[in-house]
Amino acid sequence: MKGCTLFTNVPAPYRDSFLRVLSQYLPVHVVYEAERIDQVNAKWYARGHRSEFQVSFLKEGRIHEKFVNFRILGYLLKARNSRIIFTNWGSATQLFALLLAALFRLEYVLLLDGVLPGSVGRFQRLKRIIVRRARVVFSPNRFTDRFLLDLGCSATGIVRYPFTSLWAADILGTTPSPSVKKEMRKSLGLPEMRTIIFVGQFIHRKGVDILLESKAFLKGKYHFVLVGGLPPQQYLDIIRKNGLDEVTFVPFQSKESLAQYYTASDLFVLPTREDIWGLVINEAMAHGLPIVTTKNCGAADVLVESGFNGYLVDEFSPQKLADSIQSVFDVEEKKTSFAQSSLVRIQHYSVEEMAKTIAKGITG
């Protein structure tokens, strides 16, 4: 059976799961540029590469995205008779390989995680060549569709796919009952009150500062659970300046432990300034949580609908964010409906469905 060679940056849990399922459809050889990205928590990386697919590394250690690793040329030549998949044109190495593939008319597909909303990006002329020569470009949302069409990609060459890190078994069938949530809060040592959770890196673009400042505008008792590590001094200063209480910082959690925090929570908030996707949105919805996020979140473009399963905020304003949070809790029936709608919308966003869509697109 004709296999595929997938070129990507570094091992990651979300991609590892997908590759394991894809290898059930055809033989897979994954060529990683390097072993890690320095600014990402080391616990994030996939552990122990799977026997289900072949793995090669262009180099050991951390990735250097601004420099071309010419070793990729040898792997590209070896892959010329297989199905070639590229996942990242943001690195110099993959951009170089993509251009060679386009110029030498090798058959390849692009598998994109998304683009930043409103993104123009660099190397537009080169990307025009790349998307026009690609046999198929897999897109996860409307942001990316529009971006590709602007580059000259034909509409028939774009295939939408469900980008996710979730196994089908990770997605709940029903929302946890209030009593289950109450018991989980007790188990985790959290107070019995409205609980809002954020999960992600404590970096500027994630907007945790906006979330903390929004707490001063909320009416009633709310507990914030912020999962992502030790709080930066900026966050502590915001808490002290505004006299905030009921804020719990939680370190990086395993998948199993994080599921408990999702269960204990009533609402997931991601006030991101920009996110190409935001897989934590998928995770939170799979646990039956309403979502409040911004229009600059790639996942929200297809997963979150204001008034259906949460709210989209179009300003980076603590007051506006607080208004949206408050709206979720104003009517209990609304919060319950939003939670159920999240589960409905996320049902087909599993790695099984993702792999099935990709396999069909590259073999069809």
CATH number of 12's domain? 3.40.50.2000
Domain co-membership, 131 together with 14: yes
Q: How confident is the model at residue 39 (pLDDT cuts 50, 70, 90)?
A: low
Distance CA 45, CA 10 (A): 8
Domain co-membership, 22 together with 155: yes
Amino acid at 5: T
Would the CA dihedral through 160, 164, 169, 173 be positive or negative? negative
Q: How confident is the model at residue 44 (pLDDT cuts 50, 70, 90)?
A: very low
Helices within the chain (DSSP H only): 13-22, 72-78, 92-103, 124-133, 142-150, 178-188, 208-214, 233-242, 255-264, 279-286, 300-303, 318-330, 332-346, 351-363
Domain co-membership, 294 together with 207: yes
8 sits in which H/E element = strand 4-8
Domain co-membership, 9 together with 71: yes
Q: What is the pLDDT of residue 88?
A: 86
Distance CA 126, CA 95 (A): 9
Q: What is the mean pLDDT of the chain?
A: 93
Domain co-membership, 152 together with 64: yes
Number of domains in the chain: 2
Would the CA dihedral through 54, 60, 66, 69 be positive or negative? negative
The pair of structure tokens assigned to 270 is 């991601």
Residue 40 has pLDDT above 60, yes or no: no
Q: What is the pLDDT of residue 120?
A: 58
Give CA 74 to chain center in angstroms: 31
Residue 245 has pLDDT above 60, yes or no: yes
Domain co-membership, 160 together with 195: no
Domain co-membership, 18 together with 154: yes
Residue 21 has pLDDT above 90, yes or no: yes
Domain co-membership, 54 together with 38: yes
**Strand-pair partners of 250:** 227
For residue range 204-234, list pLDDT tens digits in order: 999 999 999 999 999 999 999 999 999 999 9
Domain co-membership, 256 together with 295: yes
CA atoms within 13 A on the CB side of 318: 13
CA distances from 20 to 14, 260, 299, 362 (A): 10, 26, 23, 16
Distance CA 295, CA 314 (A): 6
Domain co-membership, 131 together with 85: yes
Domain co-membership, 154 together with 138: yes
Residue 116: CB atoms within 10 A of its CB come to 15
Give this prediction's pTM.
0.93
For residue range 284-333, list pLDDT tens digits in order: 999 999 999 999 999 999 999 999 999 999 888 999 999 999 999 999 99
Q: What is the pLDDT of residue 90?
A: 85
Domain co-membership, 44 together with 72: yes
For residue range 135-160, list pLDDT tens digits in order: 999 999 999 999 999 999 999 999 99
Residue scoring higher pLDDT (70 or 125): 70
Range of the domain at 85: 4-167+350-363
